[in-house]
């Protein structure tokens, strides 16, 4: 049977025409506009964050020059035929200018803040602020109501102009009403099953009526020392100014302790040779032996490298250096004052050391005053802290000797 060429066109084949086409185009434009708006808002937020961090860099000032030991040779030098590098006063004399600090800060910001490097926002010479933990109900990644709301359309699960008719599963939902399962009702008309009810509205499947998510492992794991009355374990509770990497007091250091090795790999140190008596202003030698210390890590204190790096292990051994200092004791019956600078101080870094003990000779240029000198050596990690030990009853990596300085001026 021959079909009539005037047969009625199928409605289902031409649904994307006329009014429906206009609606689809309008919806596409709205969606595209939303994406552009979100992108612009995100970029604006990034720019503001970066500008704020850069502005903080402009406030940085170089600290005052630290007091240095009196008899130590100034500036970095080498001994043992150039094989051993000595840093007087832990590099405190290697000062840095305000302009250099600000330039370093800006470089860090451009590499770490905004689009260039993630979401870090704290310049390197300012203490990082620990953000409060996100509320698990407000966090979209943990809120059970967030997923369904976004997935099922902004205004519900029953969108489209006429439900399953002209737009099928419309851009704003999948159901049977003009506004999905509406704002307050329970039917399938324009007002559906309410915003906070049992529908699939803007707040997803049930919104505020859903139970809270299970607490995370971090929220349920007791912190170290729980039950011992620990006073604090971070600078969040301190009123002191954050530490900034320089040798300044009344600060709170937020740098984590870092890595600690096994007990049989913890560093040890011993002064193996020292004179008992020396003449004033006469050079002498101290021999220092270390074990389980790789002497290849040093951050100059005058450059802002003090207490800023966590302890780091290499093959289970601490990376760092060791210090040697000599100070004159006012008497030997009481602990000395802590603030006077010593007569001699160096930090030794020679890219050697390891599990096998070895020795380094330290050249002391002489001590000017008669009396009793206390000369000490102790290990330090890359940021100058004495390395950690596994057990409390292990002796840390330090040693000390007494030397009599006879004659001379008083």
Angle (deg, nearest 10), helices 18-57 and 98-112:
160
pLDDT of 310: 96
Q: Which pLDDT band, with edges at 50, 70 and 90, does 35 fall under?
A: low
Minimal CA–CA distance to 323: which of 304, 342, 303?
342
Burial of 388 (0-12, 13-18, 19+ CB in 10 A): middle
Q: Give yes or no for residue 88 having a pLDDT over 80.
A: no
Rounded (10°) CA dihedral 195, 197, 202, 204: 170
pLDDT of 144: 40
For residue range 292-303, what is the model confidence (pLDDT) as tens digits?
Answer: 999 999 998 888
pLDDT of 168: 40
Burial of 196 (0-12, 13-18, 19+ CB in 10 A): middle
pLDDT of 82: 82
Lowest mean pLDDT among 114-123, 189-198, 204-213, 304-313: 189-198
pLDDT above 70 covers a percentage of the chain that reads: 60
pLDDT of 323: 97
Q: List the chain domain ranges.
A: 13-57, 65-97+234-410
Q: How far apart are CA 280 and CA 331, in angstroms?
A: 18
pLDDT of 62: 74
Lowest mean pLDDT among 47-56, 186-195, 329-338: 186-195
Q: Give yes or no for residue 359 having a pLDDT over 80.
A: yes
How many beta carbons lie within 10 A of that of residue 210, not counting itself?
15
Q: Which pLDDT band, with edges at 50, 70 and 90, does 216 fall under?
A: low
pLDDT of 197: 41
pLDDT of 270: 98
The residue that leads in pLDDT, 154 or 364, is 364
| Mean pLDDT confidence for 24-48 | 59
Q: Give yes or no for residue 285 having a pLDDT over 90.
A: yes
Q: Which pLDDT band, with edges at 50, 70 and 90, does 55 fall under?
A: confident
Q: Give yes or no for residue 13 having a pLDDT over 70.
A: no
The residue that leads in pLDDT, 277 or 140, is 277
Q: How far apart are CA 290 and CA 90, in angstroms?
A: 18
Structure-block tokens of residue 16? 């994307």
Backbone phi, then psi, for 48, in 5-degree steps? -65, -40
| Mean pLDDT confidence for 332-357 | 95
Show Cβ contacts of residue 201 under 8 Å, excluding neighbours closer than 6 positions. 149, 155, 156, 157, 180, 181, 182, 183, 192, 193, 194, 195, 207
Please provide the average confidence, as pLDDT, over all residues in the chain.
74
Q: Identify whether the C-beta of residue 259 lies closer than 8 Å to the C-beta of residue 314.
A: no
Block residue for tokens 């040697």: 324
pLDDT of 288: 98
Structure-block tokens of residue 324? 């040697």
pLDDT of 406: 94
For residue range 136-166, what is the model confidence (pLDDT) as tens digits?
Answer: 334 444 444 444 434 443 444 444 444 444 4
| Mean pLDDT confidence for 199-208 | 46
Q: How far apart are CA 64 and CA 72, in angstroms?
A: 20
Q: Identify whether the C-beta of residue 177 lies closer than 8 Å to the C-beta of residue 188.
A: yes
Q: Give yes or no for residue 209 having a pLDDT over 90.
A: no
| Element (DSSP H or E) covering residue 96 | none
Minimal CA–CA distance to 361: which of 270, 269, 273, 268?
273
Lowest mean pLDDT among 41-50, 164-173, 336-345: 164-173
SS3 at position 398: strand
Pick the CATH number of 65-97+234-410 from 2.30.30.60, 2.60.40.2550, 2.40.37.10, 1.10.220.10: 2.60.40.2550
For residue range 93-137, what is the model confidence (pLDDT) as tens digits?
Answer: 777 778 887 887 788 778 877 655 555 555 665 433 333 334 433
Pairing relationship of beta strands 251-252 and 241-242 according to DSSP bridges? parallel
For residue range 367-407, what is the model confidence (pLDDT) as tens digits?
Answer: 988 999 999 999 999 989 999 999 989 999 999 999 999 98
Q: Identify whether the C-beta of residue 47 lies closer than 8 Å to the C-beta of residue 115.
A: no
pLDDT of 31: 60
Burial of 296 (0-12, 13-18, 19+ CB in 10 A): middle
pLDDT above 90 covers a percentage of the chain that reads: 40
Q: Identify whether the C-beta of residue 347 lies closer than 8 Å to the C-beta of residue 54.
A: no
pTM of the model: 0.57
Show Cβ contacts of residue 63 under 8 Å, excluding neighbours closer than 6 positions. 244, 246, 247, 248
């Amino acid at each position: 049977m021959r079909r009539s060429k005037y047969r009625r066109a199928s409605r289902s084949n031409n649904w994307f025409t006329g009014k429906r086409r206009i609606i689809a185009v309008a919806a596409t434009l709205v969606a595209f506009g939303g994406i552009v708006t979100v992108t612009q808002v995100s970029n604006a937020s990034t720019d503001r964050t970066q500008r704020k961090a850069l502005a903080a860099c402009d406030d940085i000032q170089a600290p005052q020059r630290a007091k240095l030991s009196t008899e130590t040779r100034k500036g970095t030098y080498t001994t043992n035929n150039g094989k051993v590098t000595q840093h007087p006063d832990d590099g405190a004399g290697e000062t840095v200018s305000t302009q250099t600090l600000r330039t370093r800060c800006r470089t860090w910001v451009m590499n770490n803040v905004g689009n260039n490097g993630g979401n870090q926002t704290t310049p390197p010479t300012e203490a990082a602020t620990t953000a409060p933990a996100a509320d698990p109900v407000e966090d979209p990644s943990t809120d059970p109501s967030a997923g369904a709301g976004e997935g099922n359309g902004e205004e519900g699960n029953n969108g489209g102009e006429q439900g399953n008719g002209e737009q099928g599963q419309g851009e704003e939902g999948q159901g049977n009403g003009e506004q999905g399962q509406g704002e307050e009702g329970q039917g399938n008309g324009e007002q559906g099953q309410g915003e906070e009810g049992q529908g699939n509205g803007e707040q997803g499947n049930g919104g505020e009526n859903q139970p809270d998510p299970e607490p995370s492992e971090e929220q349920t794991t007791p912190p170290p020392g729980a039950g011992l009355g620990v006073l604090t374990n971070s600078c969040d509770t301190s009123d002191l100014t954050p530490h900034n990497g320089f040798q300044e007091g009344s600060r709170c250091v937020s740098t984590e302790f870092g890595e600690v090795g096994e007990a049989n790999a913890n560093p040890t140190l011993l002064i193996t040779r020292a004179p008992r008596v020396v003449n004033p202003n006469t050079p002498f030698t101290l021999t220092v032996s270390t074990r389980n210390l790789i002497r290849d890590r040093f951050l100059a204190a005058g450059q802002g490298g003090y207490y800023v790096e966590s302890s780091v292990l290499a093959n289970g051994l601490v990376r760092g250096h060791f210090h040697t200092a000599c100070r004159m004791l006012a008497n030997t019956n009481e602990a000395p004052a802590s603030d006077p600078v010593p007569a001699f101080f160096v930090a030794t870094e020679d890219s050697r050391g390891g599990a096998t003990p070895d020795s380094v000779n330290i050249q002391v240029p002489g001590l000017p005053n008669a009396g009793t000198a206390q000369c000490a050596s102790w290990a330090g990690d890359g940021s100058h802290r004495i390395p950690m030990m596994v057990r409390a009853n292990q002796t840390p990596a330090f040693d000390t000797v007494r030397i009599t300085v006879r004659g001379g001026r008083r």
